[in-house]
Amino acid sequence: MSFSSIDLCSKALNKIGANAIVSFDEGTPEAEICGSLYTTLKYKLLSIFPWSFATASLKLNQVVVENLSGFLYVYALPDDFLRALSISSNSTYKILGNYLYCNDEEVFLDYIANVSEEYFSPVFISAFINLMAAELSISLLNDTSKYSLFYRIFNSEIREAKSVDSMQETPKTLSEFSLVDVRR
């Protein structure tokens, strides 16, 4: 089941006892506050963990810029870039603005992408709704007790979401570790 940004905001609004919205532009306080909070919270949650549904990889394209900042090459970051996970660079690198600076002639980037809500996992959606409910409790209702409640629920659910998401790859083993060899 896929949710839109409006669906997620409406579910959060329903949790705090407020009216759902149909658009960020409808002119209600709920729509205005949701519109101002949504993107920031989405980027924040996507950036805090290497979510399998938001991870992307690609070869970066070199670009020409005036200031190389002490590096040999400059690469444009993708439009959906939120945070770097790993870079296939054998040298030092630096991210400045929308560019990656390094001394390697070819660079591959693993990164967190700004993905559409249709890719969110169910446990991520639940955590996101509770974070939104917490923020709306303060911004819309000025209710610190509801904020605390929903923020505690969010913290519990985001831990669960991270745990579930991290189970989607081959577990790392300690086969090449000296203490494991001693026990054999």
Over residues 92-106, the pLDDT tens digits come to 899 999 999 999 999
Number of domains the chain contains:
2
Is residue 118 one of the residues assigned to a domain? no
For residue 161, give its domain range. Answer: 5-50+131-166
Q: Is the pLDDT of residue 184 over 60?
A: no
Nearest CA-CA partner of 94 in 78, 77, 79: 77
Q: Do 56 and 102 share a domain, yes or no? A: yes
Residue 43, both tokens: 């980027």
Band (176; pLDDT cuts 50, 70, 90): low
Q: Do 96 and 59 share a domain, yes or no? A: yes
- The whole-angstrom separation of Cα 124 and Cα 4 is 14
Q: Do 57 and 106 share a domain, yes or no? A: yes
Q: Is the pLDDT of residue 125 over 90?
A: yes
- The whole-angstrom separation of Cα 136 and Cα 123 is 20
Is residue 85 one of the residues assigned to a domain? yes
Out of 80-84, 96-100, 157-161, 169-173, least confident range: 169-173
- The whole-angstrom separation of Cα 165 and Cα 55 is 12
- The whole-angstrom separation of Cα 136 and Cα 145 is 12
Q: Do 75 and 100 share a domain, yes or no? A: yes
Q: Do 22 and 63 share a domain, yes or no? A: no
Out of 135-139, 156-160, 163-167, least confident range: 163-167
pTM: 0.86
By the 8 A CB rule, do 91 and 123 touch? no
Nearest CA-CA partner of 124 in 57, 54, 55: 54
